[in-house]
Amino acid sequence: MQKLEAVTREVLKKITPTPEDRVKMKALAEELQQKTARACEEHGVKATIRVEGSIAKDTWLREEPEIDIFLRLPTSVPRRELGEIGLKIARRATEGAKQVERFAEHPYLEAFVDDVRVNIVPCYEVKQGEWRSATDRTPFHTDYVQKHLAESLRGEVRLLKKFLKGINAYGAEIKTGGFSGYLCELLILHYKSFAETLRAFAAYTKRITIDIEGYYAGRQNEQRLLFPEPLVVVDPVDKGRNVASAVQPQKLFTLVAASRAFLKAPDTNFFYPPKTSALPVEELRNRLENRGTTFIFLMLERIEAVPDVLWGQLYKTQRALHKLLELNDFKLIREAVWSNEKSLNVFVFELEQRFLSKAKKHLGPPLERMKECEDFLDKYTNADSVVSGPYIEGNRWVVMLHRKFTDAVELLREKLKDGGRNAGVAELMAKSFREKLEIVVNSETVEAYRRNRDFAEFLTSFLSGKPFWLETTEAQR
C-alpha cells in the first residue's frame, strides 16, 4: 500500500501541470478561441466557440497537453456541410501550424501549435437530448464534469489516464479502441480514486456496470438488454448511451490484467513503459527461422487516408484475411496489423504451418438424412476431387478430398490478385493489393525491418508477446 502511494505520488508530480504550464495553456487556448471566432466572422459563420476537453475540465496531462476548441453551429447548417465548414474555419484559425485532417463521425482538424496538439471540432448547438451529430454532446460532458468532479479528484483522473496510456489502452479513436478521457473522468467520479478504480477492474467478473445518475435504478434487466457490452458506463447526459461502448474487449481485459499486476507490485514503469529496443537483425532472423511457425507479412506502401479511415480499413482487412486463412484450414496462432500511418502498413499472421496436407477429410451427412445422403453420393461417388471414399464412418458418409490450397502464400496471392474485394478486403487496401501485392515469409521481412526502426520495435515486441508490465512485475517477484 505504501509502495502504491509512493508510486502514485511520484507520477502525480510529473503529470500535474505547474502554475506556469497552466498560464501558458490558458493563454494559448484563449488565443485559439479568438482566432477561431475571427475565422467564423470572416466566413460569415455564426457559431459559439468554446474550449472543451481536458483543458476545460482541468484533467490534462502536463507532458501531453491537448486543446479542444468546439464550434457550436446553428442547426440551420445542413448536416453534410458541418464537417467542411468546420475544416475551413479550423484551417484558417491555425494557419501556419502543422495540420492533419482527422475523422470521427465527420472530419475535423488536428493542428500542432507551439508543440501542443489542438483539435478544432464542429458540432451543433442543441438542447440536451436533441442530438444531431455525435459531437453535440461534448459541451454537455464538459459542463457535467466541471460541475461534479471535485478538484481533489482531478489528480486521480490524471493518474488513470497516464496509466491507460502506459498500457496502451487510452484513446477512443479507431486505432486504439480504448478508454476516452471522458470515460476516465466518469470512472473516477464513480470510484473516487485511481486505486479504487484499478481495484474494481482487477476484480472484474462477467461485467462492470456504472450508472452514476441512477437512470436504471430498479430496471437492471432493461439496462442489460440495452447495453450488451462487458463494460457499461451510462452517459450522465444521455441515458441511452454507453460511454464505454467503443472500448474493445482486448483493451478492457488489458486494463483488468494490468490492474492486477500493478496492485500486486506497483511501479512507475506502468506509467512510463520502457522503450522496446529492436533485436539485432541477425538475432531477428534467427528467431523467425527457428520458432517453428510461419510468419506471413503482407506489406502495403503509403495509403492516402486520414488515420481513422486508414485504421478502420486496416482492421476490416485484417478480419477478412483472418477469415480467408481459417476457411482454408490454416491454423492461426497470432496476428497483428501495424502502420506508421505514413509510408508502411503491415499485416502479420503467424500460422502453425505454411503448408497443409494435399488431402483432407470431409464429413458428409448422417445416414438418417436420406435425401442428403443421396445428394452426397451423387456428388462424390465418381468425382475427380475425391481421393478416397465415399465410405461410412460411424453413422455418416465421409470422403477424402483434394485440398484446393495447400500453401497459405499461394492462397493469399490467388485470392488477392484482384484486390480481394470478394474476400472482404477494404477498398483502399484492395486497390493497393491489386497494384502491388507484396507478401514476404519469415525472415524475408528483414529488409523492411532494417529500413524501418518503428516496425523493427513493433516486431520485436510482437515476437516476445509478453506485455512489458508482465516482464517488470514478474522480474520483481
Residues that bind a second copy (CB under 8 A): 202-206, 230, 249-250, 253-254, 256-257, 260, 291-294, 331, 333-334, 352-353, 356-361, 367-368, 370, 373-374, 377, 381-382, 387-397, 399-400, 402-403, 406, 463-467, 470, 474
Could you tell me the smallest distance in angstroms from the CB atom of residue 290 to a second copy? 8
Closest CA to 213 of 181, 190, 179: 190
Residue 166, C-alpha cell as written in the block: 502506459
Could you tell me the smallest distance in angstroms from the CB atom of residue 316 to a second copy? 18
Residue with cell 493489393: 433
User: Smaller CB distance to a second copy: residue 33 or 473?
Assistant: 473
User: Smaller CB distance to a second copy: residue 306 or 386?
Assistant: 386
DSSP state string for 20-46: HHHHHHHHHHHHHHHHHHHHHHHTT--
Could you tell me the smallest distance in angstroms from the CB atom of residue 443 to a second copy? 16
Helix, strand, coil share (%) of the chain residues, nearest 5: 50, 20, 30
Tell me the C-alpha distance between 233 and 187, whole Å.
8
22 close to 67: Cβ distance less than 8 angstroms? no
User: Smaller CB distance to a second copy: residue 205 or 221?
Assistant: 205
Closest CA to 161 of 132, 194, 137: 194
Could you tell me the smallest distance in angstroms from the CB atom of residue 57 to a second copy? 31
Residue 156, C-alpha cell as written in the block: 486521480
Could you tell me the smallest distance in angstroms from the CB atom of residue 358 to a second copy? 2
Residue with cell 447548417: 77
HSE-up (13 A, CA, CB side) for residue 271: 22
What backbone torsions phi and psi does residue 241 show, to the nearest 5 degrees?
A: -125, 135
Could you tell me the smallest distance in angstroms from the CB atom of residue 359 to a second copy? 5
User: Smaller CB distance to a second copy: residue 86 or 390?
Assistant: 390
Could you tell me the smallest distance in angstroms from the CB atom of residue 333 to a second copy? 5
User: Smaller CB distance to a second copy: residue 70 or 349?
Assistant: 349
SS3 154: helix
Closest CA to 200 of 187, 185, 186: 187
HSE-up (13 A, CA, CB side) for residue 297: 22
Could you tell me the smallest distance in angstroms from the CB atom of residue 361 to a second copy? 5
Tell me the C-alpha distance between 387 and 380, whole Å.
10
Task: Enumerate the H helices of 233-333 as residue ranges.
Answer: 249-264, 281-290, 307-327
- Strand ranges (DSSP E) for 332-475? 332-339, 344-351, 359-366, 386-393, 396-402, 438-441
Could you tell me the smallest distance in angstroms from the CB atom of residue 173 to a second copy? 20
User: Smaller CB distance to a second copy: residue 140 or 397?
Assistant: 397
- Strand ranges (DSSP E) for 132-229? 208-210
User: Smaller CB distance to a second copy: residue 435 or 474?
Assistant: 474
User: Smaller CB distance to a second copy: residue 372 or 444?
Assistant: 372
User: Smaller CB distance to a second copy: residue 253 or 272?
Assistant: 253
